[in-house]
Structure 1
Amino acid sequence: MMFETMREAMVESQLRPTGVNDPVVLAAIRAVPRERFVPPARTGLAYADTAIEIAPGRWLLEPLVTGLLLTHARIMPSDRVLVVGAGTGYAAAIIRHLSRHVTAVEENSGLVAAAQANGVDVVTGPLADGWAARAPYDLIFIDGAAAVLPSALLAQSADDGRLAAVIIGDDGVGRATVGRVAGGHFAGTGFFDTGAVALPGFGRAPKFIF
């Protein structure tokens, strides 16, 4: 009951006042117990407005960012959705309430096991490669941050498909962003600034200074 109360408080105090107002999205968020998707030692933070480390270098996005991305993505039941960087499976579990066709990909074996323990079907492979076997996708949902978007992943988008992610700009600031993919190129609009760490394979190559 404590977690149910905390979940409802998260919806009413964090999400609804800040633009997460689609009743279908809110119902999906209410249906997924977030405390099951964080490490046991951090369950007390499950509904706090903060990102949570779920593995070395891997983070569960703060609830507001996840909610905003899902709201702006406007997922339809018929959409084919690819969740990249499924982690422990939280976003994928919510999206399963919104779409009948969800593929979640993860490369960290510990996170794959955690997602499967939470009842989320996950395919295993490099995140930057996506999952071409079920392409094209109407929505590519990157459950984390990206400084670059791999061409192999963009090629799996349907024509004029959508992509949602925290995009890290040249200034190093992450912005929750939703946009369209056309001709292998992504164009989107950032609508919320947030700190985030790039997923493996989605960071910029280091620059060498001579």
Structure 2
Amino acid sequence: MNFEQARFNMIEQQIRPWDVLDTSVLALLAVVKREDFVPAAYRNMAFTDVELPLAGGRRMVPPRVEARWMQELQVQRHEKVLEIGTGSGYMAALLGHKAQQVYTVEPDPQLAAQARDALRRAGVLNVTVVDGDGVAGLPAEAPFDVVLLSGSVDEVPQALLDQVKVGGRLGAIVGSEPAMEARIIRRTGEREFQREDLFETVVQRLAGFAPASTFHF
């Protein structure tokens, strides 16, 4: 398989039509080799517009969603980033190319080990993979300029919002099937947050993030 041609086709046929026009993001997608983060059995599908299977029943977020997050979050070289849900490690690699330091939290030990190996082989040295479910964030390293939830949640835990710097932002896909909304929440003050809904999509629920209870007294 010609991976370079497949990568070019992904960018031109999936990413650009999804309003990802930031040239720095498009250049990054051309450099970070997604196929090196995909399980071997699915390597030839690395550039398809689907959620590829990972160990433990998990799935990779589709490339177009990864690309939109990179465009919308606008990570800067001086910033510290927290990702919840490492999965394959590919999103962490993209973030690592933009940020000063990335911490990414993964509850599945097998996936965490595979992501560490893939990141090492890709030469991404400023990403630290942390074992854990991520629901409580990573308070020991807080605050963060950017927090990204790489999966969907019913609602964003306050504990994660509290770990965003004033002036920082958190990205999450919020809601339940069939309608989920990709959202950026910006921290504008100690207790003030502004919400911006970006686009609709559906992705797998983040491991460990149970839906909110519908029981009422």
TM-score in terms of structure 2 length: 0.87
Is residue 107–residue 125 contact of structure 1 (8 Å, CA) maintained in 2?
A: yes
Aligned to 1:149: 156
Aligned to 1:176: 182
Residues 31-53 of structure 1 deviation map (CA, whole Å, 9 limit, x = unaligned)? 11111222221122210111112
How far apart, CA to CA, are the structure 2 residues paired with 1:6 and 1:135? 38
Name the SS for the 2:171 alignment partner: strand
Aligned to 2:170: 163
How far apart, CA to CA, are the structure 2 residues paired with 1:16 and 1:187? 28
Residues 146-182 of structure 1 deviation map (CA, whole Å, 9 limit, x = unaligned)? 112122222111013201121225x751222223135
One-letter code aligned to 2:179: V
One-letter code aligned to 2:211: R
Q: Percent identity over the alignment?
A: 34
Residues 59-93 of structure 1 deviation map (CA, whole Å, 9 limit, x = unaligned)? 21111111111101111111111111111101010
How far apart, CA to CA, are the structure 1 residues paired with 2:49 and 2:199? 14
How far apart, CA to CA, are the structure 2 residues paired with 1:200 and 1:166? 14
CA spacing shift, 1:6–1:27, aligned 2, 3 Å: same
How far apart, CA to CA, are the structure 2 residues paired with 1:146 and 1:196? 9
How far apart, CA to CA, are the structure 2 residues paired with 1:202 and 1:186? 21
CA spacing shift, 1:187–1:200, aligned 2, 3 Å: farther
Name the SS for the 1:174 alignment partner: strand
Tell me the CA shift for residue 116 of structure 1: 0.9
Aligned to 2:141: 134
Matched, 1:108 2:108: yes
Matched, 1:76 2:80: no
Tell me the CA shift for residue 201 of structure 1: 3.1
Answer with 194-203 or 131-140: which moved more: 194-203
Is residue 128–residue 200 contact of structure 1 (8 Å, CA) maintained in 2?
A: no
How far apart, CA to CA, are the structure 2 residues paired with 1:175 and 1:79? 25
How far apart, CA to CA, are the structure 2 residues paired with 1:147 and 1:58? 17
How far apart, CA to CA, are the structure 2 residues paired with 1:201 and 1:128? 7
Name the SS for the 1:49 alignment partner: coil
Answer with 172-181 or 22-31: which moved more: 172-181
One-letter code aligned to 2:3: F
CA spacing shift, 1:176–1:14, aligned 2, 3 Å: same
Answer with 78-87 or 119-128: which moved more: 119-128
Aligned to 1:4: 4
TM-score in terms of structure 1 length: 0.90
Answer with 193-202 or 136-145: which moved more: 193-202
Is residue 162–residue 179 contact of structure 1 (8 Å, CA) maintained in 2?
A: yes
How far apart, CA to CA, are the structure 2 residues paired with 1:205 and 1:103? 26
After the TM superposition, which residues 15-34 of structure 1 pair with which residues of structure 2 at under 5 Å, given as runs? Answer: 15-34=15-34
Aligned to 1:50: 50
Answer with 184-193 or 10-19: which moved more: 184-193
Aligned to 1:205: 212
How far apart, CA to CA, are the structure 2 residues paired with 1:133 and 1:175? 29
